[in-house]
Amino acid sequence: MFKYIVKRLAIGFLTILILATITFFGVRAMPGDPFAQDNKVITPEAYEAMKAKYNLDKPVSQQYITFLINAAKGDYGESISKKGLLVSDIIAKRTPVSFRMGVMAFVVSMVIGLALGIFSALSKKRWVNSLITLMTTLGVSIPGYLFAIGCMVLFAVKLGWVKVVGLKEPSQYILPVFALSLGPISSITRLSRSSLRDVMGQDYITLARSKGTKETMVIIKHGLKNALLPVITYAGPMFSGLVTGSLVIESLFSIPGIGAEFTSSITNRDYTLVMGLTIFLGTLVVVMTLVSDIAAAIADPRIKLDK
């Protein structure tokens, strides 16, 4: 397993390097100037000084090399749009907000998704399976932001049950968390249902039943233990996706998280903040994917992490 982890970390590092490289040259190819808003109020001399401060007066190739050297030290510099604030400090401040929301969405997705998937797999009623299939199809098809807008109109504007701006009250987590959870709930439901149905038809399940084992124990001890492996593999990338994929949701609900910060940094052409967030979010995806692979191997010793 140690060799596997080292190999995956090496591949992850290479992936992040490629991602950072593409982003670095991509943001500089965008039309516009990161100091465009300042051109009206500062002199040409001050403008040139600003470019020199952020190393933008050098050739792009030299900027790239400098960026790699500083990034290796964990230094992403100062934000261009947020004067006086270091990129690392902005990430440290915004991440807990997105992390809390991501954890809540993760728990909601796992609990509801597994419950629906197990119930659907074990139910003999056709209308139950049809209803759950319809729900999961809609959940996968409807974009999270569209669901969020609909919930805002209904529960906040029409009914006035909750507030939708910020996260000052616990009730304000409800709508954004469920908007984030809609897609993952549907995916987990479908994964767990199909996996459990397949497992319950295996020979070792028949053998366990023939020994007189109670059906509940057969399901829990033999069925779920093996049926949950695809869900475990999916859980790691899902969690990172809930944290990194909350850009639109955070913007809709005016949540000061890392997703909204990423959107703002792109709009403001904040090169330093875009790069810092890109590397941070990319690293999160790589790490969580590795964690899910290791968790799957621990849950099922038959999985060998030696390739």
Residue 33 lies in a domain: no
Q: Map residue 250 onto helix, strand or coil.
A: helix
Q: What CATH number does the domain containing 138 carry?
A: 1.10.3720.10
Q: Is residue 213 part of a domain?
A: yes
Q: Which pLDDT does position 21 carry in this prediction?
A: 92
The reply to whether 273 falls in a domain is no
Q: How far apart are CA 202 and CA 204, in angstroms?
A: 6
State which residues form the domain around 155.
Answer: 90-258
Instruction: Please report whether residue 28 resides in a domain.
Output: no
pLDDT attached to residue 136: 87
Specify the number of domains making up the chain.
Answer: 1
What the block records as the tokens of 91 is 């990430």
Name the one residue in this structure whose structure tokens are 């000084």: 49
- Report the C-alpha gap between 105 and 100 in whole angstroms: 9
By three-state DSSP, how is residue 278 classified?
A: helix
The residue ranges of the chain whose pLDDT is under 50 are 38-39
* pLDDT for position 39: 46
User: For the whole model, what pTM was predicted?
Assistant: 0.79
The answer to whether position 60 is within a domain reads no
How far is Cα 108 from Cα 113, in angstroms, rounded to an integer? 8
Domain contains 264 = no
